[in-house]
Structure formats: C-alpha cells, structure tokens
Amino acid sequence: MKPILSPVANTGRKAPTGIVGFDEITGGGLPHDRTTLLLGGPGSGKTILSLQFLAHGARHCREPGIFVAFEESSERIVGNAESFGWKLAGLRKSKLFFMDAQPMSDLVQSGDFDLSGMLAMLEAQIKKMKVRRIVFDALDVVLALLPDSAAKRREVYRLHEWLLAHKLTGLITAKAGGDEVSSISQQTFGFMQFMVDCAVILSHSVLNGISQRNLRVQKYRGTSFDENESPFLIGASGLEVDSTRTQTRINAKVSTERVSSGIARLDTMLGGGHYRGASILITGLPGTAKTTLSGAFAEAACKRGEQTLFVSFDSDPSEVVRDLNSVGIQLARHVKNGRLRLASARTITGSAETYLVRIKTLATEHKARCLVIDPMSTWSKSGNDSNTHSVAERLTDWSKANGITLVCTSLLDELSSRSAGDASLQISTLADTWIHLNYLMQAGERNRGLSIIKSRGTAHSNQVRELILSDSGVTLADTYTAGGEVLMGTMRWEKEGAERVETEVAEVAAKLKRVRLDAEEAELEVRAKAVQVELVAKQVEKALLVRTTESLEGALSRGRSRMRELRGADVAIPNRRARSP
C-alpha cells in the first residue's frame, strides 16, 4: 500500500516570492511553471507584490524575470520601488527586463487586434535572458481595448497557453474591486480565476477610519494553503504578510525550561518561573506597576544574554528607561550593547493588524527570545474591537511557535474592573500565566497586591502578596491575614513590629528561665558532691574501724596462747571454763 503523503509533500515545485508571510501561507510561494492571478483594487499593492516576486527570483533563485508594464511606465515603477531597497537598477542589466507596453494616449483602436506580436517579442527576450518568471502588470488595461468579450477571452487564453508552453512562472495582475465585487471586466476575470492554478486577492478597506489591508489566497491547485484573509502591510522592504501559521503552531516545541520573571519571590510563587515560550498576561489598574513587572522580566532576560524586544505603547523608549531606573531596573546598558530593543509603538499608526505585523517584523529582525508588550489593551482602542482578539490570539500563537516568551500587560478600566476576569482583549483565556495586580485600600493607604490567577502546568501559590517598589528593586512580601482581612503596608509593618516585640519578649523569658535552671542545676550538683565527699569519709572511717578491731582481736588471741604456753596448761574446754566461775 502506498503511504499517504502529507499535503505539503505531494505539491509541485514552488517559486518563492521572498515576501514575509506569503511563502508560509502558500507553503513555499507561487506555483512553479504555472500561472497565478493577482486581483485587487487600486493601490492594493499588486505591483509591489509582483516586483518583489521578480526581484527575489532574480537575486536569490537564479530565475531572471520580465516585467510587462501595461499601466505605469517602467521608469516610474522602478523609481517608486527605490525606497524598498531591492536595487532594481543593478538587476536590470541581465536579470530583470522591463517592457513598456502602455497603450499610448493618442492610440486609436480600430477593430480587433491580438497580443501575439507582444508574445513574439517576449519570446526573443526570454531566449536571450533565460527568463523563468514573468509578470503582466494590469492586464485589464489592454483587455479593455479589445472590442468584445470573445476577443478578451481569446487573448487571455492565448496568454495562458503561451505561459504554459514556455514553462514560465507567470503572475498576471488585474484591477478588480477586491473580492467578488462587480467590475466591467468581472466576467473576464471570473473565467480567468477558473483557468489559472492560483488566485490571490488583495483588498484594502477602511474600517472605523483605520486602514486595513488583507491578502487572501482564493485558490491554489494541488496544495494546501491558508484560506483565511491575512492582513498585510507595505513595510520598509516590501510587503509583509501576517500568516497565522496554524501548521507550525501544532508542531511547536513545548519547552519545560523555566525562565525567570525577574523577581525572585515571583519565581518561587510560580514554582520556578515562567515556561519558555509561554504567554504571560499582567493585568491591573493604572499605576499598579505593570510596566515595572514587565521591565523586571526584560532586565532578567537581558542578564541571561537573551535578545529582548520591549514594545511600549505608553511612553518613549527614553522615558521607559528613566522610569524603570527609579525602581532599580537598569535597562540603559542593555540597550547600549544591543541586547534590548525598545520600541515605541506610539509612532505606529494603523490598525491592530498593523501593530501585529510591525511587532513581528521587529521581533524577527532583533531575533528576540523574549518579547514585552506594554500595554496590549491599547489595541482595542485603535479601531475594531472584533479584530483585536484575533490579533492577540495570533500574536500568542506566533510567539509560541517561535519559542518566544511573551509578556503583555493589559489595562483594566476603572469601571469594568469590578470583575478582574473581564480583560478587554480576552487574552486571559489565551495566556498561560495570568498575574493580576490590584490596589488594596486600607487604613488610608493604597497598597499593591499581586496574585496569580492562573498558571498552566505549574503549581503556583494562591496567596496574595504585597508588591513593594523601592529604589533598589521590586520585592514581594507576605501579607498578614488578621480577622479575615489581608494586611498590607503600614498595617503589615505594624503587625510585623508587634510580632517582633513579642518574639523578643519570648526570647528574653526563655533566656531567663534557662539561667535560673542553670543555677538550680549547679546548686544540686554542688550538693551532690558534698554528699559524695561525706560518703567517702564515712567509708574510710568504717574501714579504719574494722581494721582496728581485727588487730586488737589478733593481739588478744596471741596473748592468750602465749599465756597457755607459759602455764603449760592443757587445753581446756572453753565452754566449761566459761561456765565455771
């Protein structure tokens, strides 16, 4: 039995476009030796996409290309693309050919015509340059000149056949009002969409005043692809498409490695720190030290020697450095040695999608292993709320797939903060660890409390800790519970003081008792000694007595026997003797 091949394995060759994200969506690029149709409205980025495709092929794939410009003059196209840094001028010598095919303004059209002349010319050029890729930009312009739809169809077929016969990777762009929107040439492009092997639609819309660019692969024969609309933006070096990379997400390596949160006590609370590649959400009211916590994380990451990106939506990079310096988090030197990149997202305008793509590009450029976004909740303000959640989701997916540890903060509104679970972006369900910061009002004080609401796959402390900021850093302290209330700040300090005194008193008392016992012991010991000495004396006395008695008796008996000898008396029976008077 033949093994079932995965959809990626049995696909034909791909022609990489070099466009960030696009090659991921299509599993490698445009279909090689096949034709792709690129549809989109005016200013949707068709020309840029096709130029990037050609430039990448010419520079990196040894596939020279031809650009047939039906609309704009090649000089203008090259000039406009200058800012992307593709250095087209250098490629134009032998690897990239521009053919100006704009109908002249004074051109008179009389009756039917065809494109076979152009194809003949292109053929000559293809042979000369060994061309592998070709772009027909704005084919609709020339098709519009054809007298009837039959002629349009005929020319499109001619072009398609020609492309296939020459085994060229073709890209035909045409203006269409985006997705399934009626246009004059709708019919023509309708059947073109059936004909080609791959169709890509670019759209540009404005939602609540926020510009949104989307790319969608409508069809791609013989390959699996991401069917959803993917946001993209026209960045400094061309198109940047945001791919969700659902496939890589599944294959993402799950790490059991722990990374420090930057605060020793917090690491203990989390059972050793965050998992590498985890997403951590820090929520809290304004001023609850969310930035400080994320700053501590960034500093710890830099100290471990990991590339870190810190995106701030609130303040400028220099402000972040200064502000965090006041709580003992020194970021300046890490910025200087290139470990840490501080980016101010205030300069980015656009939708949440734009932010996402920008952040991803920045992170990729910086090879970031740790990423901080402070605060993420700004996104929901910049336009469509509906999008923001999916953006947040994609960011966490993306960072997971790349093993990037993500810390994002989210501001909770004073009003909606009644329930801490109501994080505006709903990232709370996506985050692996959710740390909540809040104020505790007590005895005229506001103190910061930290609690871990959840932490996946980790035994974590469920105690509220007090967060103390000082110029030497961030520390966590135990809180005291008394009478069902958590004590913090001064009250905790007082309680601590009272406890300290209590301990001291107890210690002194114990010491005193010990001394007393020592004395008693000593006394008893002395007494025991005295008795012992007395005992010895008595024993000696007794022994002496015994000895004296023995010697006396000895002397007596000796004297008696001597006397008997002297007398010569016979042995008398002592008893009788004794009885006789």
Verify binding: residue 237, other proteins, rule CB under 8 A: no
Q: Is residue 112 a contact partner of residue 147, using CB atoms and an 8 Å limit? A: yes
Could you give the CA distance from residue 421 to residue 418 in angstroms, rounded to a whole number? 9
Query: For other proteins, which stretch binds (CB under 8 A), given 116-124, 170-178, 251-259, 295-303?
Result: 116-124
Verify binding: residue 75, other proteins, rule CB under 8 A: no
Verify binding: residue 148, other proteins, rule CB under 8 A: no
Verify binding: residue 106, other proteins, rule CB under 8 A: yes
Q: Is residue 289 a contact partner of residue 326, using CB atoms and an 8 Å limit? A: no
Verify binding: residue 82, other proteins, rule CB under 8 A: no
Minimum distance of other proteins from residue 101's CB (angstroms): 4
Verify binding: residue 112, other proteins, rule CB under 8 A: yes
Minimum distance of other proteins from residue 389's CB (angstroms): 50
Q: Which of 120, 184, 498, 533 binds other proteins (CB under 8 A)?
A: 120
Minimum distance of other proteins from residue 110's CB (angstroms): 4
Query: For other proteins, which stretch binds (CB under 8 A), given 24-32, 86-94, 109-117, 287-295?
Result: 109-117
Verify binding: residue 141, other proteins, rule CB under 8 A: no
Nearer to other proteins, 67 or 379 (CB): 67
Q: Is residue 21 a contact partner of residue 242, using CB atoms and an 8 Å limit? A: yes
Verify binding: residue 110, other proteins, rule CB under 8 A: yes
Residue ranges with strand state E in 308-417: 308-312, 340-344, 370-374, 405-411
Query: For other proteins, which stretch binds (CB under 8 A), given 31-39, 103-111, 439-447, 504-512?
Result: 103-111
Q: Which residues contact 550 (CB under 8 A, 6 or more apart)?
A: none
Q: Output the CA–CA distances (angstroms, integers) from residue 509 to 97, 155, 516, in the order listed.
A: 97, 106, 11
Verify binding: residue 144, other proteins, rule CB under 8 A: no
Verify binding: residue 309, other proteins, rule CB under 8 A: no
Q: Is residue 217 a contact partner of residue 200, using CB atoms and an 8 Å limit? A: yes
Verify binding: residue 557, other proteins, rule CB under 8 A: no
Verify binding: residue 30, other proteins, rule CB under 8 A: no
Could you give the CA distance from residue 135 to residue 119 in angstroms, rounded to a whole number? 13
Q: Which of 1, 3, 42, 117 binds other proteins (CB under 8 A)?
A: 117
3-state secondary structure of 423: coil
Verify binding: residue 518, other proteins, rule CB under 8 A: no
Q: Which of 33, 72, 123, 267 binds other proteins (CB under 8 A)?
A: 123
Question: Closest by alpha carbon to 266, among 305, 308, 303, 294?
Answer: 294
Verify binding: residue 99, other proteins, rule CB under 8 A: yes
Minimum distance of other proteins from residue 71's CB (angstroms): 13
Q: Output the CA–CA distances (angstroms, integers) from residue 575 to 561, 566, 571, 579, 581, in the order listed.
A: 16, 21, 12, 6, 11
Cis bond before residue 375 (omega within 30° of 0): yes
Nearer to other proteins, 59 or 158 (CB): 158
Residues 560-579 that bind other proteins (CB under 8 A): none
Q: Is residue 371 a contact partner of residue 311, using CB atoms and an 8 Å limit? A: yes
Q: Order across the sheet with 198-207: list the strands.
A: 96-100, 65-69, 133-137, 169-175, 35-40, 198-207, 210-220, 230-235, 238-241
Minimum distance of other proteins from residue 121's CB (angstroms): 4
Q: Which residues share a beta bridge with 408?
A: 281, 373
Nearer to other proteins, 93 or 253 (CB): 93
Total residues at interface with other proteins (CB under 8 A): 26
| The two three-digit tokens of residue 59, written as one number | 């520079």
Q: Which of 8, 89, 121, 531 binds other proteins (CB under 8 A)?
A: 121
Q: Is residue 397 a contact partner of residue 274, using CB atoms and an 8 Å limit? A: no
Residues near other proteins (CB under 8 A):
99-101, 103-104, 106-118, 120-121, 123-125, 142, 145, 147
